[in-house]
Structure 1
Amino acid sequence: MSEMSEKYTFDDREKSKRSQNEVLFNTREAVMKEAGEDDAALEHSVNVRLANPLLGVPFDKLQEDVNEFSATHGLEEYRELLFKGALCAQAQATGDYDAITVLNEEDRLALREEKEHKWKQPFQLYWLCVCCSVAAAVQGADETVINGALLFFPKQFNIGSNSDRDQWLTGLVASAPYIGCAFLGCWLTQPLNAVFGRRGTIFITSFVSFASCIWQACTNTWWHMFIARFVLGLGIGPKSATVPMFSAECTPPLIRGALTMQWQTWTAFGIMLGYVADLVLYHVGDSSGIKGLNWRLMMGSAAIPALFVMAQIFFCPESPRWLMKKGRYQQAMRSFLRLRNSPLLAARDLYFAYRLLIEEEKIRKSRGPFPFLELFTVPRNLRATIGATIVMFGQQFCGVNVIAYYSSNIIKNVANTTDINALLGSFGFGVLNFLFAIPAWYTIDTFGRRNLLLTTLPFMALFLLITGFSFWIPDDQSDAKLGVVLFGIMAYSCFYSPGFGPVPFTYSAEAFPLYIREIGMTYATVVLWFFNSVLAITWFRMQEVMKTQGAFAWYAAWCMILWLLTFFFLPETKALTLEELDIVFSMPTRKHAAYQWRMLPYYFKRHVLFQKSARKEQLFTVDNSIGKA
């Protein structure tokens, strides 16, 4: 027996066994008896196996497993540290670390600080999340450089009239990257990640984005522009799925939402940069026989963030979870050591993830040969799929990209203002979109994903209606009309940015279980980019048929529909481990919806009448000892 295990007295070991095993077995036995299940059925329950694979493992067996794991995977130098980590991982369910007498004061301090000072994390972790999410700036910049370029290239390509044909072609060119994402790019996520890893996928897709941004700046026909922008979607799609997944796999649960949402923060930053490029390059004149040099430079400027990503991505550690899936445990341990404040926390998360991977591999083998179908056939996965569909669809049909893509055209049509004034108004939208994403860093893991959506959606609907209905103001009051339109757009941005801005990618990246997460994120991003392309391609025609008032009212109505979908069908996921989420999504959808309906009187009393005495019924309490709700 090792020196470490000899530090346990007989009483200590018995105390540890009682607190972590006997109570668990007794509780499980009672639940099995009540449910009429035998032990074999319980062990084969996906929820139990994924809640904490270490629960109920006897002390000696756990030590034996750790020794075997260390010897098999070349981690002998970390053997004693891994055993400490395994004991801590086993005790995560109850939080009873006091019974683990082998921990020294430094270990206990690390465990306390993890809970009490959640933002005290290694610089490398913050660098990874922020720098990798700069990849989103490529997407954001393209969304808004097209906003300025649309003032120029349609006329140069002979598609700038108000005919039905030209309206559809202009929308088609603008939406090309998102068509590419939905129908091809996103489906490359899993094979690229399987072969090249998270970092390699981000590098490759950033290069594709860089090259296609330069390519689209060199086109001379609408169909050539469409092809170049379609290829841009092959870079945006896999990157948009990989980066949030990369962040979610590397970050601790208490701040996972805030760090994963850096994707949206930097998308907003890229949107702002795109408007800056539009303004700076607007007055560039043609030279050396190049026609449309200003819009070409606008389109090419979106390549700049991609260069930064390509230059720094391999300085970040690879996802430890991905490395373990490839059997590269020594590298995974080194990654965890760079991403955690203490070697004990690194060892705990490594061993816990290893045991979880074993369980998920058993689940994968017990399923059919078509894992994509499990998104819809396995109840736990189906609920995650429903949630991801709601938020990804909602991010588009809340109407935000109508403004992001076409705000300059919308503002210009208000009072026939100048192009530069239209771009200045769009720039204001971009600045607020970025600034109001920052508060969500703190609220997304405290206020919660679901609550952010429920709070912001009604205001988004209101300001969309104000923006659209302002077009009924007579043209002879053009200044007032323009002021109301700008107010509506700016106010809408202030509520979108902390709500439907950061929540969808954060929610989708954590909703799916690890064994099917890549496929789940692929599906989620397909939904997002498909409806993004629908929105982009139909706007000009919708504006012509429904008028601007009706078009904005259409998206305002969708905001209210999305509020209902969120209220009844979207479970909260804040501050839960990736494993505890399996328990949350085991709650039947019908039961969740019925509970929310019963709670309507409570919400009214508590948040409208401000009755502090109102009491809320608990939907469920998580019994971590048995992995059931």
Structure 2
Amino acid sequence: MTKQLYLFLITVVSALGGLLFGYDTGVINGAQFFLSKHFDLDATMKGWVVGSALLGCLVGALIAGPINFKIGRKNALILSAILFTVSAWGSGMPSFLPESVSLLVTFRIIGGFGIGIASMSAPMYIAEIAPPEKRGSLVSYYQLAIVIGFFVVFLVTYFIGKNLTEAQNIEFGWRRMFWSELIPSILFLILLFFVPKSPRWLYLKGKEPEAYTILKKINGKKQASVVQIGILESIKKASKGGKINLLKSPFFKIILIGLVFSSLQQLTGINAVLYYGSDIFEKTLGFTKDDVLLQQTILALINLIFTFVALFTVDKFGRKKLVYIGDAGMLTGFLMLAISLQTEQVGWISLIGILLFIASFAMSMGPVVWVILSEIFPNKIRSLAMSIAVAFQWFTNYLVSQLFPVLSESELNMSSTWNGSLPYYIFAVFILFTLFFTYKFIPETKGKSLEDLENVWEE
């Protein structure tokens, strides 16, 4: 097996954590209509069942740092795969379990733990095994896997629901939707036992021979020696500074930049569109229920296609240039939507605005944020710092998902001044801030080793 093929297979297996991230996030959207009728849920309880996993994601991301530091990236991913499997099995409410909403929420939160751990561990693991010249595209496989998972689960839940009557879907169809996740989660769990441990984590733990063997398989003997020297010098340099205090410079500055950039991925409004896309199409743009399914399919397909654009350009153009191009498209898309709503000229221009926003996000802030987060933190604090940054992303995700419907249905937004456009103007402001923040604080990481990037913060 060539080193290129070996590296590719490792990346694909670890990126399956992203596929389960997208699958687990999307399966609740397909199942919630039927399980809400099964359990006779009111609006508050429906929101709790759907949103509870996000709180699990937040906790999962917070505990992922210590877990990764203690047992390593590979074992953290194995733990996430186990949690995904338990969640998928339990959320379907096997007949021998006492059926209750509380138990369903418990299993959804367990799944959230898995997403939180995987969302931090997978991109970090890929970044630590990847050569500098390929790191951007390889980490982007994680975002691609998220999008594929979201797209696949949309099709799976659609076909499960289509082949059953409404009464059957209410009785057991939603269970099958949850259980469908067992296939990718068990596959992920099995394949993880065949990938190596992160060489950089092994060096941190003093296991140099094992780490060097893995580096040779990935980089070749000559380049492995060069990489090893850089890693050992980085560890030696960090150890001279004594006990690390994350609240002191330069670590506090790096972590602050990371968590702000991570949060901005959500504050640009992506999950308002993904979570409430059907409501936007039906209530705001005036499409019929039959049209909504088609629009959602197109939305998911464009999200998938333009993630491939990032995959093939992030190491060629660089991270910052993709953010600039993508943010310009996102801003244009939301302004098209907002102005058409405000002037009551909804129609194809509004739909094009949403699709332009999705395409632009998919090629920029979607994958690039994961790439940057996996690169900018020094070896010594990477697991803990990335844990904090990803936890803030999940917290922001939760805020947006909770506040968007409230703002959308508010009297202010529905007044003659805004006509439903206010949320998109607010998102546009955050997109403008993202452009400024990227220009001012985000370093260009293209083509640099993780150890070289540590020196950026000292310049």
TM-score (norm: length of structure 2):
0.89
Matching residue of 1:47? none
Matching residue of 2:265? 395
In the alignment, the residues of structure 1 paired with residue 336 and residue 353 of structure 2 have an alpha-carbon distance, to the nearest angstrom, of 6
* More contact order relative to length (CA 8 Å, sep ≥ 6): 2
Shift of the 416–435 alpha-carbon distance from structure 1 to 2, 3 Å rule, reads closer
Matching residue of 1:377? 248
- CA offset at residue 292 of structure 1? 4.3
| Deviation readout 1:481-533 (Å, 9 max, x if unpaired) | 46444322222111011100111111011111101111111111111111111
RMSD, matched Cα: 2.5
Q: Check whether the contact 1:275–1:426 (CA below 8 A) recurs between aligned residues.
A: no
- CA offset at residue 155 of structure 1? 4.1
In the alignment, the residues of structure 1 paired with residue 156 and residue 293 of structure 2 have an alpha-carbon distance, to the nearest angstrom, of 10
Please show how residues 222-621 of structure 1 align to structure 2 within 5 Å: 222-285=101-164, 291-340=170-219, 342-363=220-241, 366-367=242-243, 371=244, 373-374=245-246, 376-379=247-250, 381-413=251-283, 414-415=285-286, 417-418=288-289, 421-471=291-341, 481=346, 483-545=348-410, 546-547=413-414, 548-587=420-459
Q: Secondary structure at the match of 1:315?
A: coil
| Deviation readout 1:244-293 (Å, 9 max, x if unpaired) | 11111111111111111211111111111122123212324369987343
Q: Secondary structure at the match of 1:134?
A: helix
Q: Secondary structure at the match of 2:365?
A: coil
Shift of the 469–266 alpha-carbon distance from structure 1 to 2, 3 Å rule, reads same
- Tell me, yes or no, if structure 1 residue 191 matches structure 2 residue 73: no
Q: Report % sequence identity.
A: 25
| Deviation readout 1:398-432 (Å, 9 max, x if unpaired) | 111112222123223243622x5423321211111
Corresponding residue pairs, total = 446
Q: Check whether the contact 2:326–2:361 (CA below 8 A) recurs between aligned residues.
A: yes
Please show how residues 173-192 of structure 1 align to structure 2 within 5 Å: 173-182=49-58, 184-192=59-67
In the alignment, the residues of structure 2 paired with residue 289 and residue 450 of structure 1 have an alpha-carbon distance, to the nearest angstrom, of 50
Matching residue of 1:131? 13
Matching residue of 1:218? 93
Please, which runs of 5 or more residues in structure 2 have no aligned partner?
415-419
Shift of the 297–580 alpha-carbon distance from structure 1 to 2, 3 Å rule, reads same
| Deviation readout 1:134-162 (Å, 9 max, x if unpaired) | 110111122322333344333444445xx
Shift of the 421–280 alpha-carbon distance from structure 1 to 2, 3 Å rule, reads farther
- CA offset at residue 241 of structure 1? 0.9
Name the structure where helix makes up a greater proportion of residues.
2
Amino acid corresponding to residue 7 of structure 2 in structure 1 = L
Shift of the 448–316 alpha-carbon distance from structure 1 to 2, 3 Å rule, reads same
Q: Which has the larger radius of gyration?
A: 1
Q: Check whether the contact 2:22–2:149 (CA below 8 A) recurs between aligned residues.
A: yes
In the alignment, the residues of structure 2 paired with residue 482 and residue 148 of structure 1 have an alpha-carbon distance, to the nearest angstrom, of 26
In the alignment, the residues of structure 2 paired with residue 156 and residue 487 of structure 1 have an alpha-carbon distance, to the nearest angstrom, of 37
In the alignment, the residues of structure 2 paired with residue 295 and residue 415 of structure 1 have an alpha-carbon distance, to the nearest angstrom, of 28
Amino acid corresponding to residue 239 of structure 2 in structure 1 = E
In the alignment, the residues of structure 2 paired with residue 411 and residue 297 of structure 1 have an alpha-carbon distance, to the nearest angstrom, of 27
- Tell me, yes or no, if structure 1 residue 154 matches structure 2 residue 33: no
Q: Check whether the contact 1:513–1:579 (CA below 8 A) recurs between aligned residues.
A: yes
Q: Secondary structure at the match of 1:438?
A: helix
- CA offset at residue 227 of structure 1? 2.4
- CA offset at residue 473 of structure 1? 7.7
Q: Check whether the contact 1:284–1:293 (CA below 8 A) recurs between aligned residues.
A: no
In the alignment, the residues of structure 1 paired with residue 169 and residue 359 of structure 2 have an alpha-carbon distance, to the nearest angstrom, of 39
- CA offset at residue 223 of structure 1? 4.1
| Deviation readout 1:194-236 (Å, 9 max, x if unpaired) | 4432211111111101211232232965544332222111111
Q: Check whether the contact 2:87–2:107 (CA below 8 A) recurs between aligned residues.
A: yes
| Deviation readout 1:303-347 (Å, 9 max, x if unpaired) | 43222211211211211111222232222122112111x212223
TM-score (norm: length of structure 1):
0.66
